[in-house]
Amino acid sequence: MKSLVVKSAGSIDWPGIGQSAIKVLLVGLVFGAGLPALYAVGLRLWDAGTGGVAKDGTVTKANPLALAGAALAFVLIVAAVVCGLLLVMKKTIAHYTGWTVFPGLG
C-alpha cells in the first residue's frame, strides 16, 4: 500500500488524498444509503408479488417475477452484510483458523 500523506519532506500527496476521499465517499454512499434503499425496494417488490385483497376489495394474484426480484434484493443484502463482517474480522479469522478470507486485500 502506498503512502497517502507524505511523499518527501514537506510534500503532501493531494491527488492521493483526493482519490482516497472519493473511494470512502462512494463506499459510504453504497453501504450508507444503497443497502437501505435496496431493502426498501425488496420490501416493495415483496408486497407487489404476494397478491391479496386490495383496499377496495379487489383480489390481486401473486406476481412471481416481483417475488424473484425481492428474493434477489434480500440475497444481495445478506451477501453484502456477510462480506462486510468477514472484512472486519479477517485478521481474527486468519489468526484462529489460518484461513485468509480476502487474500488480495492483505
Per-residue pLDDT of the chain (106 residues; tens, 9 = 90+): 555 555 565 688 999 999 999 999 998 888 889 999 999 999 999 999 998 888 888 998 999 999 999 999 999 999 999 998 998 999 999 999 999 998 887 6
Please state the φ and ψ torsions of residue 100, each to the nearest 5 degrees. -90, 110
Instruction: Choose among 74, 86, 81: nearest CA to 31.
Output: 81
52/77 Cα distance (integer angstroms): 26
Question: In residues, how long is the chain?
Answer: 106
pTM, two decimal places: 0.70
